[in-house]
């Protein structure tokens, strides 16, 4: 499972003109399921996201996690993170999990996130989404769980 995590001042997801998820300060995680992923892969990814020390402490050092600061978590499914662009100008998405597997993994990840963290918002799996964010820092981190 892959994720691109961004520390944000605020972020939101809109589908068909309606905001379906929004947070204030926290993390936006774009998440991609891959064919060999299982729910435990998603659980490990979520644990990493919740514990990443990317928020400033009193000394201004990145020493606090999302859990420490009780920030928001906005999860967005993003199969294009699996893009392979080595073979030309049209990306291949063969590295992404098939849609039904990806949906099951997404739902398990979202359920775990809502159980473990008090402020969780999400996009809509498979929808055409508009994601708005104010990247704080900027801080953007790629994560890969094998």
pLDDT tens profile 82-92:
999 998 899 99
Give the residue-averaged pLDDT of 40-66. 97
Tokens standing for 60?
Answer: 């201004």
pLDDT of 146 > 90? The answer is: no
* 3-31 pLDDT per residue, tens: 999 999 999 999 999 999 999 999 999 99
DSSP helix/strand/coil, 73 = strand
pTM over 0.75: yes
> Where along the chain do its domains lie?
2-144
Q: What percent of the chain has pLDDT over 90?
A: 98
* Residue whose structure tokens are 């969780």: 120
The residues pairing with 80 across neighbouring beta strands, listed in sequence order, are: none
Q: Which residues are catalytic?
A: 78-80
CATH fold of 2-144: 3.50.80
CA angle at 100 for the pair 103 and 17, rounded to the nearest 5°: 50
pLDDT of 137: 95
Q: What's the average model confidence in pLDDT over 53-60?
A: 96
Burial class (CB in 10 A: 0-12, 13-18, 19+), 131: middle
Task: Give the pLDDT mean for 77-83.
Answer: 96
């Amino acid at each position: 499972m892959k994720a691109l995590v961004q520390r944000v001042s605020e972020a939101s997801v809109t589908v068909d003109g309606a905001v379906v998820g929004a947070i204030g300060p926290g993390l936006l995680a774009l998440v991609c399921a891959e064919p060999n992923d299982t729910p435990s892969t998603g659980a490990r990814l979520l644990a990493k996201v919740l514990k990443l020390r990317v928020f400033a402490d009193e000394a201004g050092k990145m020493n606090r996690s999302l859990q420490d600061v009780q920030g928001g978590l906005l999860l967005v499914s993003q199969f294009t993170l699996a893009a392979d662009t080595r073979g030309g100008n049209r990306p291949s998405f063969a590295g992404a999990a098939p849609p039904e597997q990806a949906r099951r993994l997404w739902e398990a990840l979202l359920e775990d996130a809502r159980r473990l963290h008090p402020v969780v918002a999400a996009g809509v799996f498979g929808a055409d989404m508009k994601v708005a964010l104010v990247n704080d820092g900027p801080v953007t981190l790629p994560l890969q769980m094998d």
